[in-house]
Amino acid sequence: MAQAYMTEAGNGGSEPEPSGSPFRRRLAELKRDRGIWRRGLVLTGLAALLSLVMIFHADLPNDVGNLGSLTETFLPWLGLAVPVLLVAAVIRKSATALIAILLTAAVWVNLFGGLVTDKSGSGGNLTVATHNVDADNTDPRGTAESIGRSGADILALTELKGSAVPVYEKALAATYKYHSVEGTVGLWSRFPLTASQPVDIRMGWTRAMRATVATPHGQVATFVAHLPSVRVKLNAGFTANQRDNSADALGAALAAEPLKKVLLLGDLNGTMNDRALSEVTSQMRSTQGAAGDGFGFSWPAQFPMARIDQIMVRGIKPEASWTLPRTGSDHLPVAARLTVKP
């Protein structure tokens, strides 16, 4: 008793030092730190802003520089800010910022967590692929041979340079008995093609086509499209008006298609999050979103940052979707395995 009394008197009656593990001592220090809830308000605000952008991205205005579409094109990459803010919150010793950042992480997971997991299945009776081969490709033969080994039953190529078309035709002839080229897009198939024709997407020259593929499981209306490119300019922002007009025209062509089984292949120069493609995405299903393994980014090939090369279906079940090895193009080829029911 005397020893205990002397100990309390010796430290002036102050609270005894916490005992136990270093973690418990650190936790006790944090409990005594009343500023833990007041610090990091800037970090908290940044986390809240990031959450709002992800939740309400469809409401971001497109009037100035197509800001909304630009944000939606790279929307998944906003998640990279989460670990940076998290580290800053820990260094700042801010509980308020930490909670806000964890909520931001939950928003990102809710939006994109499903894309991270592997949703591919083992079924499928039709394999398709699409590739923007790049008009400036210096190795069209090698590109054709590479994509020809993909095992695809139906292959769409976009950005075909006129002088390179014979090279692709010769290199793919042994694998694909049937093919049709309209303008700068082409379709190669193991199965007969009929009713091949250009599709007007308001560009002044042909960058889209439609054909009927007579698969063993029924006729499939197959569209190949290469929508106009978009640009990011300091004085104009995200210039995408021509792309947007072409997307509307393509959406109208898809809506008018009488066949129930519809396949869309090509370079849409936009992601599935981009509201400007709503006339297309509202009536077609993305194979990557439904049956992909990861985000499946396809552009640029050296460091893919966005999925702008698409395989979309209607009346057809996606089973798996993936990217193919890099070729001489600035895009990666993408492929999908589908189930077409008679």
**What average pLDDT is seen over the chain?**
90
Strand 185-189 versus strand 178-182 pairing type: antiparallel
State residue 6's pLDDT score. 42
Higher pLDDT, 233 or 331: 331
Q: How far is CA 230 from CA 3, 75, 162, in A?
A: 80, 16, 23
State residue 25's pLDDT score. 67
> Residue 239's pLDDT band (boundaries 50, 70, 90)?
low
Predicted confidence (pLDDT) per residue in 286-316, tens digit: 999 999 999 999 999 999 999 999 999 999 9
Predicted confidence (pLDDT) per residue in 48-83, tens digit: 999 999 999 989 887 766 788 888 989 999 999 999
State residue 20's pLDDT score. 59
The pair of structure tokens assigned to 262 is 């519809």
Structure-token match 């042909």, residue found: 206
pLDDT of 235 strictly over 80: no
Q: In terms of Cα–Cα distance, which of 156, 154, 165 is closest to 131?
A: 156
Which three-class secondary structure state does DSSP give residue 117? coil
State residue 236's pLDDT score. 42
Treating both helix axes as pointing N-terminal to C-terminal, what angle do 81-92 and 95-116 enclose, rounded to 10 degrees?
A: 160
- The residue count for the chain: 342
Q: In terms of Cα–Cα distance, which of 342, 180, 188 is closest to 260?
A: 342
Side by side, which strands form the sheet with 208-215? 193-198, 208-215, 218-226, 262-267, 309-314, 285-286
Predicted confidence (pLDDT) per residue in 131-154, tens digit: 999 999 999 999 999 999 999 999
Stretch 228-252: mean pLDDT: 77
Dihedral sign from CA coordinates of 101, 102, 103, 104: positive
Side by side, which strands form the sheet with 317-323? 178-182, 185-189, 154-158, 126-132, 334-339, 317-323
- Give the count of beta carbons closer than 10 Å to the beta carbon of residue 84: 12
pLDDT of 215 strictly over 50: yes
> Residue 237's pLDDT band (boundaries 50, 70, 90)?
very low
User: DSSP character for 174?
Assistant: T
Structure-token match 């395989």, residue found: 311
Predicted confidence (pLDDT) per residue in 5-44, tens digit: 444 444 444 445 555 577 676 556 656 666 788 889 999 9
Element holding 226 (H helix, E strand): strand 218-226
Say what percent of the chain tops pLDDT 70.
88
Per CATH, the number for 126-339 is 3.60.10.10
